[in-house]
Amino acid sequence: MNTRMEHDTMGEIAVPAEHYWGAQTQRSLENFKIGGERQPKEIITAFAYLKEACAGANADCGKLTAEQAAAIAAVCAEIRAGKWNEEFPLVVWQTGSGTQTNMNVNEVIAHLAADRGVKLHPNDHVNASQSSNDTFPSALHIAAALAVTGQVLPAAERLETAFAKLEAAYPDLIRIGRTHLQDATPLKFAQEVSGWRELVAAPCRMLRAALPELCRLAIGGTAVGTGLNAPKEYDEMVCGRLREMTGVAFTPDANKFHALTSKDALVFAHGALKALAANLMKIANDIRWEASGPRCGMGELHIPENEPGSSIMPGKVNPTQCEAVTMAAVQVMGNDAAIGIAASQGNFQLNVFLPVSAYNFQQSARLLADVCDSFRVHCVEGITPNVERMAYNLQNSLMLVTCLTPKIGYEAAAKCAKKALAEGTTLKEAVLALGLLTAEAFDEAVRPEKMV
């Protein structure tokens, strides 16, 4: 392997000649051979937005020339476009402040700018008016806000729309309800689907409520929150540029001592992601139970048959999309625990669990966005009710007796239900046998369409 010599304050180190990173990136590569999970690409993208915004603000303050700021901006645009992905090899399991990732970005920008004739120092120019202690928390929030607005919410809203269409397609179909996994009173199929729709819509509202706090950035706090080496109003200048570039309402955190040490906004936002995961788990379980069968289960729903379900049982088809949803939900719930614990570990002026928080949040956002789309396309949009099975189960449910309670009383109604169950008869036969109602009165009272 061809190498070149790079140096930092600790001395010289050999770096692969074909790459644009520098000494600090190389030291991190050699010192943290742990796991292999790389910093999420979303974090690198967020850094590219942040470094460009910082460069522009520094130029406005006279700390960089227009040429230097333009060179940084040009490289950052290419980084966001994915042109230099292989230049960001560092793993999650590094320093807890993310310092080495910040320097990785600084070094790559400086070297690429130098190739274009603009000499930049990674610290003095690319990192001007900044510290890893305020840039990584800012990049973490930028990446999280972009993931919520650009990935999770659009995908969830598409799933919500799919449920709305299913709800509208069967406005009058009645089915038996179930509580405690036991038969309950009837409801419309559309009413059940409306519940699924709202199970997606409600966490979306929670995510939107979380965005204002998530959009508060630590930038301008520098090392410990005092803003040492940053110009006056630098934080607002950077956030103004970020708003222009992203369309997201980023603002400076008014209290940088809070911003550097607390990850409460991330916990709050991820809590909404966990709420979506929990609701998707519920929806997926409902659908796979109701589609169970085809002959020996509930069988009240037909779902798309996407692939063979068994390597030994010919003809078997499984609810694989539902299973993917539930596995993704479990992962998000686990990620939430990790983020909560990480957020509790701020000591004095800094939280040093930032990379693991970033990794878990981005994985959750990516999983939820992907699984919402996959579930929608390969399952929800192809759901149809088994009308005959629904009608059979409805007519044979003993819980229709509930509508008789006002006429014959709770205890008599319970006696009818128990008699029908014990003797294997219909509810009507039990009521008539006990002499509680005439056939005509029963038919008039027990009308499922009036019970919904």
End-to-end CA distance of the chain: 74
Number of helical (H) and strand (E) elements in the chain, helices listed first: 17, 10
Cα within 13 Å of Cα(241), Cβ side: 21
Give 385's strand partners: 301
R_g of the chain, CA atoms, integer Å: 30
Give me the half-sphere count of Cα atoms (radius 13 Å) on the Cβ side of residue 135. Answer: 31
Angle 318-322-323 (CA atoms, 0-180°, nearest 5)?
75
Would you call 180 a catalytic residue per the annotation?
yes
- How far apart are the C-alpha atoms of 318 and 322, rounded to whole Å? 9
Q: Output phi, psi for 431, to 5 deg.
A: -65, -45
Candidate list 7, 121, 310, 344, residue with the active-site label: 310
Partners of 389 in the beta sheet? Answer: none
Kindly give the interhelix angle for 99-115 and 66-80, rounded to the nearest 10 degrees.
Answer: 110
Identify the burial level of 218 via C-beta atoms within 10 angstroms of its C-beta, where 0-12 means exposed, 13-18 middle and 19 or more buried: buried
Contacts of 313 (CB under 8 A, 6+ apart): none
Using CA atoms, how far apart are residues 371 and 443, in angstroms rounded to an integer? 46
One-letter identity of residue 87: E
Active-site residue, from 131, 180, 194, 378: 180
Q: CA-to-CA distance for 332 and 372, rounded, in angstroms?
A: 13
- CA proximity to 368, closest of 326, 339, 401, 312: 326
β-pairing, 182-188 vs 174-179, is antiparallel
Sign (positive or negative) of CA dihedral 101, 106, 107, 113: positive
In sequence order, what E strands does 323-438 have?
A: 346-347, 350-351, 384-385
DSSP state of 37: P
Q: Both tokens of residue 71?
A: 């060179």
Beta bridge partners of 91: 38
In 3D space, the residue among 244, 304, 266 whose CA is nearest the CA of residue 57 turns out to be: 244
| Residues 6 or more apart in contact with residue 219 via CB below 8 angstroms | 50, 54, 130, 134, 135, 138, 234, 235, 238, 239, 252
**Residues identified as active-site:** 180, 310
